[in-house]
Amino acid sequence: MARQKQKKFAQVAERPNVVQPGKPIFETIKGNWHQEFFKNDNPITLELACGRGEYTVGLARIFSERNYIGIDVKGDRIWKGSGIALYEGLTNAGFLRIRILDIEQFFQEGEVDEIWITFPDPRPRDRDEKRRLTYSRFLDIYKRLLRPGGTMHLKTDNTGLFDYTVDEVFPSRKDIQVNILTRDLYHSEYMHLHHGIRTRYEAKFHDEAGEDIKYVQWQFLPEAEVQSTRTGETD
Ligand SMILES: C[S@@+](CC[C@H](N)C(=O)[O-])C[C@H]1O[C@@H](n2cnc3c(N)ncnc32)[C@H](O)[C@@H]1O
């Protein structure tokens, strides 16, 4: 098993579509994804906690006019998606192996158009709240990375994490505008946003454990609008 992992790590290190420690591009990529990596100006979508990168690959197949970057700390998981992207010649899909807490070292403010968080670890223990990818401090980071008006998506099977996000974190902030929210995506009018893409954890928890898939899409309001909401101004 450990040998298999080593083999995957070695292969990932050689792949041109993976940015990870040890590669020169790892040091220079911040603010340069368009020019240095994708060689185009198309909008960038991130998939956080991408695992095998089902959304990165799946969306890249459908939307060739956009760029996709799957981010995960585990090289043996990125191995899967990066291999498929290479095999299929998806030049609009890339992978970045980092801890999400460090993401601002790799993207400039406003460099990102859209962020998906796909089935993040729920971290149910109270003492792990700060490690949840929807903890308010993480949302502050995503807000800085996104262009104004950029879109956020969270998809999860986990009721605790979903409720925590929409019922605790969102109301604690003034800058969240929820566009879409469903606790049962598969039986909702928003199923088209599923794009027919099922992640490994989605299959595991929906098909095997019978969990409904929850989905929320939101935007961060610009500071000026937050201020006017606070003061009650309308223009
Ligand atoms: C439950 S899995 C979901 C994987 C995939 N999105 C799916 O739906 O099948 C969570 C993933 O998040 C990654 N992860 C968790 N915390 C992370 C962090 N702080 N930085 C980077 N990756 C993280 C793990 O390595 C794991 O691959």
**pLDDT tens digits, 173-182:** 999 999 999 9
Average pLDDT over residues 141-154: 98
Domains of the chain: 2-231 (3.40.50.150)
Residue 205 has pLDDT above 80, yes or no: yes
Fill in the amino acid letter for 168.
Answer: E
pLDDT in tens, 17-28: 999 999 999 999
> In sequence order, what are the residues at sequence separation of 6 or more whose Cβ sits closer than 8 angstroms to the Cβ of residue 70?
46, 47, 50, 53, 55, 56, 57, 78, 81, 82, 93, 94, 95, 96
Q: Is the CB of 50 under 6 A from ligand 1?
A: yes
Atom of ligand 1 nearest to the CA of 200: 9
Per the prediction, the chain carries an average pLDDT of 95
Q: Is the CB of 47 under 6 A from ligand 1?
A: no
Prediction pTM value = 0.95
Distance from the alpha carbon of residue 123 to the mean position of ligand 1, in angstroms: 11
Average pLDDT over residues 168-188: 97
User: Whose CA is closest to 114, among 155, 72, 143?
Assistant: 143
> In sequence order, what are the residues at sequence separation of 6 or more whose Cβ sits closer than 8 angstroms to the Cβ of residue 129?
123, 135, 164
Distance from the alpha carbon of residue 137 to the mean position of ligand 1, in angstroms: 18
Say what angle helices 54-62 and 75-88 make with each other, to 10 degrees: 20
Please state, as a whole number, how many other Cβ atoms lie within 10 Å of the Cβ of residue 231.
8
Query: Looking at 41, 72, 113, 121, which residue is catalytic?
Result: 121
